Amino acid sequence: MQVATSLSYQETMLKNYVPIFVMVPLLRLTMFWKTDKLVKDLKELRAAGVDGVMIDQYDWSAYRSVFQAVQDCGLKLQTIMSFHQCGGNVGDVVTIPIPKWVLEIGESDPNIFYTNLKASIHFIKVTYTLIVLLQIYSDYMKSFRENMSDFLETGLIIDIEGGLGPAGELRYPSYPESQGWAFPGIGEFQCYDKYLQAEFKEAATVAGHPEWALPDNAGEYNDTPESSGFFRSNGTYVTEKGKFFLTWYSNKLLIHGDQILDEANKVFESCKLKLAAKVSGIHWWYEVDNHATELTAGYYNLKDRDGYRPIARMLSRHHAILNFTCLEMRNSEQSADSKSAPQELVLSGGWRENIEVAGENALSRYDSVAYDQIFLNARTNGINKDGQPKLRIWGVTYLRLSDELLQKTNLDTFKIFVKKMHADQDYRPDPEKYNHHLGPLKRLKPEISIEDLLEETKAVEPFPWDKETDMSVSGEAGGLLGLVSNLISKIFSVFK
């Protein structure tokens, strides 16, 4: 009888289990990566209780041996279909250029690249005029499925994330460090190539305003909102013209994400995995009315308008996970002049659309303050001792594997974090044990009209969050670690 009670309690706690994945640094997967070093690090992660790793995919030359190493170590794999350039974004430590085939197309038509008002071009977009690129994306994913079919069949790969924009995120490249952007600049709109200018002119004409043009008063990368005519108080963004532009601009991003995921869904249909899409945690200027940095990135989010729920609704069509960044950040850690509020960037939009939500930390952190904040976002109302929490994220991807993470003090703290994220349960290799069902990927649902997506923009109250987590790393490790972690957090905020 006692054994039955113990098993029942264990099964209940497993419903609170959140798996942990660790992002493998891109540097390890270039021609200079060392197999023995990677295998040693993977074994360290497995010994720490980690469930799996995340890897960006750019080509297949070195990846089969890497995948085999991951599988041999007993880890699961999240993989990113990387259609984006690496280098020039926040946190990039290695440069992997846009693929040669893209650059070749760009040589004959530079308007395929995102363009700001000054005609600085970078990155790639997909429009109806470039259907050939969608076909190439599709062929790329088909090649992956063919070359990695054995790993797909064994269940090694549990989710595939579509590379939808800079750093893989569904957003415009509105704040690129390679173009001189620095935090907390508002960024710039990226829609001034000839194709998007023509599309906007056509849309404005249909709406009865052929005289409307794209904004020419939205400032530059490192401006503040009030220094621009578009974002200042009672600026263009609140006018009929401004609202029309912002709706059109954000809709183009939704269509882009839908197109790429459409191809992914077709390619990986019937595979036992999930699709995923990453949404950036743009927290600076969140506390001002205009939310300028979110708007330039394509998230039309204001106090009275939900810019994230339409994205979640689009993802629901593809049975996709919404992967959200900056889980570790607290409002108190941010500089006052950036008007940041990362804790307000809640995950409610995904849950309200009944899709799975996952998350990542935005910056590498090794302290209990950051870990405790991740707990709070992962299980917003804490452990449910009666069963599965109403709100529990699908998984946490930790950024990232490094020698610093594997340093003894940091690794010891990380092990506690992993154990607590597992609700104090031992590692489970079978996702079914913690209620993660990975059936064959279903056919995509019928296309959702833009009009239906826009119905989701009505602002509603977010789900309630607990003020503090009931699973604390500092509490487990002792008071001294908590004091040290709080000191680290304060030092960290000084340099923000």
Q: Rounded to an integer, what distance in angstroms lies between the CA atom of residue 363 and that of residue 326?
A: 7
Q: Give me the amino acid identity at 33.
A: W
Helix (H, G, I), strand (E, B) or coil at 445: coil
Q: How many CA atoms lie within 13 A of 49 on its CB side?
A: 21
Strands (E), 109-200: 114-115, 121-122, 157-162
- Is 362 marked within a binding site? yes
Q: Give me the amino acid identity at 64.
A: R
- Is 92 marked within a binding site? yes
Give the pairing of strands 76-81 and 357-360: unpaired
- Note the maximum CA span of the chain: 78
- Is 64 marked within a binding site? no
Residue 226: phi, psi to the nearest 5?
Answer: -70, -15
Helix (H, G, I), strand (E, B) or coil at 120: coil
Q: How many other C-beta atoms lie within 10 A of the C-beta of residue 383?
A: 19
Nearest to 252, CA basis, from 312, 207, 297: 297
Q: Which two tokens stand for residue 45?
A: 């992660």
Give the pairing of strands 114-115 and 121-122: antiparallel
Nearest to 281, CA basis, from 305, 260, 297: 297
Residue 392 is classified by DSSP as B
- Is 122 marked within a binding site? no
Beta bridge partners of 278: 169, 323
Q: Rounded to an integer, what distance in angstroms lies between the CA atom of residue 308 and that of residue 294?
A: 10
- Is 325 marked within a binding site? yes
Residue 96 is classified by DSSP as B
Nearest to 417, CA basis, from 48, 53, 54, 55: 48
DSSP of 27-52 = GGGSTT--HHHHHHHHHHHHHTT--E
193 close to 114: Cβ distance less than 8 angstroms: yes
Catalytic residue annotation: 169, 360
- Is 79 marked within a binding site? no
Q: Rounded to an integer, what distance in angstroms lies between the CA atom of residue 276 and that of residue 258?
A: 12
CA distances to 48, 82, 266 from 171, rounded to whole Å, are 34, 14, 23
Exposure of 33 by Cβ count < 10 A (0-12 exposed, 13-18 middle, 19+ buried)? middle
Annotated binding site for substrate: which residue ranges?
Answer: 56, 84, 92, 278, 283, 325, 361-362, 400
Q: Specify binding-site residues.
A: 56, 84, 92, 278, 283, 325, 361-362, 400
